[in-house]
A and B are shown apart, each in its own frame.
Chain A
Amino acid sequence: MTDLALAKATASPARRFSPALPGIGLLLVVAYGILPLVANEYLFDAILTPFLALALAGLGLNILTGYAGQVSLGSSAFMAVGAYAAYNLALRLPGVPFMIDILLAGVVAAAVGLLFGLPSLRLRGFYLAVSTLAAQFFVQWVFNKVGWFSNNSPSGIVSVPTLSVVGITLDSSAGRYLFALTVVTAVTLAVWRLVESPTGRALVALRDHETAARVIGIPVLRVKLLAFAVSSFIIGVAGVLWAFAYLRTVEPAGFNLDRSFQILFIVIIGGLASLRGAFLGAALIVVFPLLLARLGEALLGGLFDSGVLEMSQRIVLGLLIVTFLITEPAGLTALLDRAWNRIAGRFRRTGLPITG
């Protein structure tokens, strides 16, 4: 077993799906300008806000797994660290603005990530993947057992304080959505800069061939730890959004192994080593259970109870993973790229101008 040669899955096509800047501008206009006007509470609370939090977590894991090639099965542990850190910062340092709390929570998650990233200096592949499970179980146990983190709440579940930024209270569904959107946008732009920078290239070099990367002078150990730290920072911030903007409570059980797998699935389905991938994957993961529930109800009616629903969700999710791995290892990103190229190609043939 050599390095995680995910190269095939991640070879990025020469032409991107959309001309980057106008596309992003358009998305932001829709997300900031149009959605808050047309969306209702259900759309915000059940779809958009969890989508944003999970997309951010996927983005964080993608840095580690997609770009740097280190598989982690413990992502939700770092979400938990971020969420509990932000809760405690808000509780114990009441004067500090929440934006600072978020950053600090990310830093705490990064520190924990660094600690659990240390084995990666010695371990590869499966052995590393299994060792990240240590983070998953240990962190969950700590938040269950140590009462201080949940302010001695007997159940370990705590409600978080209301979001407020520069004196504006963001209590409504739309407010929490806009808050999450702003954080996700800022982090995504920063990550975009990172992956296009020499450091980002170093991550990819590390993934494609560790020894070769070392030979051309990349400080492999430092870059690996950096990947763990940056990834955990982002996943930690995603955890803050999950707890503060989406659920409005923090509980250890919400950050279990299933959540970690879910984030991994987002990255696989969306596309490894692609920023869009995290968003596309998260969209699918959030929307498909809802669609499945509607569909099942329409087709089977009363037979389709919650137990059947849960099981069929598991089956469909598993089938999706397997199907994507077999037929489209580069994920939804590649599917969209291909579709776009086909459309663009048709325009070219008919002589219409192409933008971008």
Chain B
Amino acid sequence: MEWQFFTEVLVGGLLSGVMYSLVAIGFVLIYKTSGVLNFAQGALLLFAALTFVSLTERGLPVWAAILLTLAAMTGIGAMIERAVLRPLVNQPPITLFMATLGVSYVVEGAAQLLWGTQVHGLDLGIDDLPLEIGGVLVSSFDLFAAAVAGAMVAALTLFFRYTRIGLGFRAVADDQLAALAVGLSLDRIWTAVWTAAGMVALVAGLLWGARLGVQFSLSLVVLKALPVLVLGGFDSIAGAIVGGLIVGAVEKLAEVYVGPFVGGGIEGWIAYVAALGFLLIRPSGLFGAKLVERV
């Protein structure tokens, strides 16, 4: 019985970790190709979810709402890349990070100015029923989210391996100068990356929105994704998945087994402390590229 409860908590944690991974993947896409830690990913996610919900509430069919939102996200991503990041090329990474912090304020403000600040419910038509699998209760919504995440990772992997633009991404991530030398257009690839990050934000935004309701606090999931990135390394999609699973599991287990002794509510920081402890052993995360410093 005790063991079964443990498994249930663990599985629940792993599945909610998948949701964190979804957000983290958006970061990794941009970090890998342009070296920017995009704090605005959470704001983009909020913008996507809010736009989708508001459009469907105004009577648009789901497919049209998705297409329109996707178009909006593409536009915003391309605009951020062009108006903010391109003028800041060759600046120290931390300057770029602070710029995306500014961008996140703008996008959050704009999203709510445009669509209002009230909480919207978002029903994706997936029931959140407890399913019993092998004697362990699992939420069907969590399973669905995990399937979506799996499909997205598979799609991204195929994209990176077999498409022209995907190979371009990898070339730029590997060595920008060499990529330029063989004739790849950095501008086009960066715009494409931001578009892709916008799409990931839409998927993550819909799933998180269905879970939490679409409201301002949605943009705070970015804070859940940061320890995931630290654990997995900023530049690895596999790392984002594994890091997400670890953070999800640690959070739930700690909440159940440690929480009651210290008064609960520890999920706000336990992931950070776990990530920090881990970093002290491996300063660039599980799968992160080792820093080589030239003097």
Q: For this complex, into which size category does the number of interface residues on chain B fall? A: 35 or more
Would B265 and A141 count as touching, CB distance under 8 A?
yes
Would A133 and B226 count as touching, CB distance under 8 A?
yes
| Among B101, B284, B291, B294, residue most surrounded by chain A Cβ atoms (within 10 Å) | B101
Q: From the candidates B94, B101, B265, B280, name the one contacting A144 in the complex (CB within 8 A).
A: B265
On chain B, the residues within 8 Å of A261 by CB distance are 101
Report A352 CB to chain B, min CB distance, Å.
39
Would A145 and B223 count as touching, CB distance under 8 A?
no
Considering the chains assembled together, what is the distance between the CA atoms of A119 and B276 in angstroms? 8
Considering the chains assembled together, what is the distance between the CA atoms of A261 and B97 in angstroms? 12
Considering the chains assembled together, what is the distance between the CA atoms of A125 and B37 in angstroms? 11
Question: Is A311 part of the contact surface with B, judged by Cβ < 8 Å?
Answer: yes
Query: In this complex, what residue of B is CB-closest to A323?
Result: B102
On chain B, the residues within 8 Å of A137 by CB distance are 223, 268-269, 272
Would A141 and B269 count as touching, CB distance under 8 A?
yes
Given contacts A126-B93, A307-B117, A322-B84, contact A133 B105 (CB under 8 A): no
> Which chain A residues (248-278) contact chain B, with CB distance < 8 Å?
257, 261, 264, 268
Would B94 and A318 count as touching, CB distance under 8 A?
no
Query: In this complex, what residue of B is CB-closest to A329?
Result: B95
On chain A, the residues within 8 Å of B291 by CB distance are 1, 124
Would A134 and B105 count as touching, CB distance under 8 A?
no
On chain A, the residues within 8 Å of B93 by CB distance are 1, 125-126
Would A319 and B106 count as touching, CB distance under 8 A?
yes
On chain B, the residues within 8 Å of A313 by CB distance are 109
Considering the chains assembled together, what is the distance between the CA atoms of A5 and B275 in angstroms? 26
Contact with A along B277-293 (1 / 0, CB 8 A): 00110011100000101
Of B53-61, B178-186, B205-213, B227-235, the one contacting chain A is B227-235
Q: From the candidates B99, B110, B265, name the one contacting A321 in the complex (CB within 8 A).
A: B99
Question: Is B153 part of the contact surface with A, judged by Cβ < 8 Å?
Answer: no
Would B92 and A130 count as touching, CB distance under 8 A?
no
Q: From the candidates A122, A129, A146, A315, name the one contacting B110 in the complex (CB within 8 A).
A: A315
Q: Is the interface of A mostly helix, strand, loop or mixed?
A: helix
Question: Is A6 part of the contact surface with B, judged by Cβ < 8 Å?
Answer: yes
Q: Is the interface of B mostly helix, strand, loop or mixed?
A: helix
Question: Is A216 part of the contact surface with B, judged by Cβ < 8 Å?
Answer: no
On chain B, the residues within 8 Å of A57 by CB distance are none
Would A125 and B94 count as touching, CB distance under 8 A?
yes
Report B227 CB to chain A, min CB distance, Å.
7
Considering the chains assembled together, what is the distance between the CA atoms of A146 and B265 in angstroms? 12
For this complex, 20 residue pairs linking A to B, each with C-beta atoms less than 8 Å apart, are A71-B94, A119-B279, A122-B280, A124-B283, A126-B93, A127-B283, A127-B284, A137-B268, A137-B272, A138-B273, A141-B265, A141-B269, A257-B223, A264-B98, A311-B109, A315-B106, A315-B113, A321-B102, A325-B95, A326-B87
Apart from A130-B230, A131-B275, A134-B272, what 10 extra A-B contacts exist at CB < 8 Å? A2-B294, A5-B92, A131-B279, A138-B269, A315-B106, A318-B106, A319-B106, A322-B103, A325-B99, A326-B88
Which B residues fall within an 8 A CB radius of A? 35, 37, 84, 87-88, 91-95, 97-99, 101-110, 112-113, 116-117, 223, 226-227, 229-230, 234, 262-266, 268-269, 272-273, 275-276, 279-280, 283-285, 291, 293-295
